[in-house]
Structure 1
């Protein structure tokens, strides 16, 4: 745990040294926002600023902050209003064409944002309203490809979605240890590969 924290702090400190495309927001703030958007994605937002954005932001209110005039956001909002998108707490798969289409709509909407405040506001709003798996996929793709997120370091997927990288027995043991406040070493002999 200490090593992960040290690596994260070094990554944030290193990111703060670089210049950014959006001069009004530091790389450290961008890193903070991305980390909290992905933190316990199946639960409510923990960061007060992001929580406020999720509750009050209207993605369609000011389309001048998007390169395409808000067309991608409008298309995504139309799908959301028509309830054609995968609900929260349902399994997401890129192999399902409908799920993939939804995730790519979100990526397209994120990629059209001109500034960090618009991007993070949209991300907070859609984290609250869209499927968690589609959201995580869209945040990862956007962070890798968007010029505003050049120096943002993504957390490993096994930390964001640990349930996808181990079996239910280990998750149950971890849950029991946490609920009983009993320190415990968990042996995981399955990680999804035949070599384990």
Structure 2
């Protein structure tokens, strides 16, 4: 079963009986001991004859095909498993290179995290600071509104309309301060969240 009869005759696995006979006759013209004086002609022709006898007979061909496929599949499976074991073994240079790359990436990521830790702490501190500032500006804004109402009422009561710009200025400053504090707080919070997402 070590010899591949199809390769010996030079035909495909789907070859017909006529193709097998034709291949056998052509090879016999070149390798038959009666026409070929070389020392190995008899041996080569015996292989050709064996291949022809096994492939031309339907029952023998079926038996040969079954055994051939079983042997081929077993060998292919063994070769794949052996190749996989060699590829994933600790001594394989490719595996070593992959392992070193993974270790290098892990070390690099940890170094980046360590370097960026002060930045993260600063962002957290600033976020808390601006949240506190937002709370303060809300209280101040409420107080400024109350002051503006008092100034406006006093100005209208005295009939001095030229001083109405003062409460408007106070309200504007209070509103802008509150909006700015909320904007900065939101910006710092977004930066902190993105920093944590991409780095950590």
Q: What TM-score results when the alignment is normalised by the length of structure 2?
A: 0.17
Relative CO higher for 1 or 2, CA cutoff 8 Å, sep ≥ 6?
1
Q: Who wins on radius of gyration, i.e. which is larger? A: 2
Task: Compare the two structures and name the one with the higher helix fraction.
Answer: 2
Q: What TM-score results when the alignment is normalised by the length of structure 1?
A: 0.17
